[in-house]
Amino acid sequence: MNKLLATLIAGLFATSVYAQTTATGSTAAPTANGVTPAAGTTVVGTNATGASGTGTTAASTGDAKDVAKANEKEAKEIAKQDEKISKATNKANEKKAKAQQKADKKIADANEKVAKADPEDKAKASAKAEKKIAEANADAHETMIKADEKAQKKIVDANADKAKAQNKAAEKTGKAMADAHKDAAK
């Protein structure tokens, strides 16, 4: 939102600065009352020929609307992609938590079997438990890695879509500014 606001303000500032420089440049014509404005002076209500500036203002307003519309569309797309990133991250975290719970349960079961084993079978039960614990941990880590990998792919895709949206908005803003400058030059 701050980026959107900054872009709009910068666009309006650039348009007003450009309009002032064309209205107060060295080739400025006299205003409606016959007075040529001094350099650096802002002429309000008339263009260089002394006519009302409503035609240029209308074109600039249309361009400003195009810029605002493009920036709004960009903001919506970025919000949508941020939501996708959030969902992917949450889903990965849920899968990882479930995998860890499953591993913890397997480990607890293996340790319980060792505790219940007869004293002469304890060594054998302990070895079996170590194997089950290692398998449970390996399975959990593999599931976690896959979940992270899947989430990262979705995040990369979402960031690419965000960049495309930003580029499209910048293109529309540039075109609108060019049209505004073109109209101001007439």
Q: Report residue 86's pLDDT band, with 50, 70 and 90 as the boundaries.
A: very high
Domain ranges of the chain: 2-185
Q: For residue 167, what pLDDT band results from cuts at 50, 70 and 90?
A: very high
Predicted pLDDT at 100:
95
- Residue 35: φ, ψ to 5°: -95, 130
In this predicted structure, what is the pLDDT of residue 16?
57
Q: How far apart are CA 102 and CA 136, in angstroms?
A: 8
Summarised one tens digit per residue, pLDDT across range 132-154 is: 999 999 999 999 999 999 999 99
45: helix, coil or strand?
Answer: coil
Q: Are 34 and 14 in contact (CB under 8 A)?
A: no
Structure-model confidence comparison of residues 29 and 92, the more confident one: 92
14 or 153: which leads in pLDDT: 153
Instruction: Let me know: does 140 contact 100? Beta carbons within 8 Å.
Output: yes
Reported as a single tens digit per residue, the pLDDT across 69-80 is: 888 888 999 999
pLDDT value at position 124? 92
pTM above 0.85, yes or no: no
Q: Is the pLDDT of residue 119 over 60?
A: yes
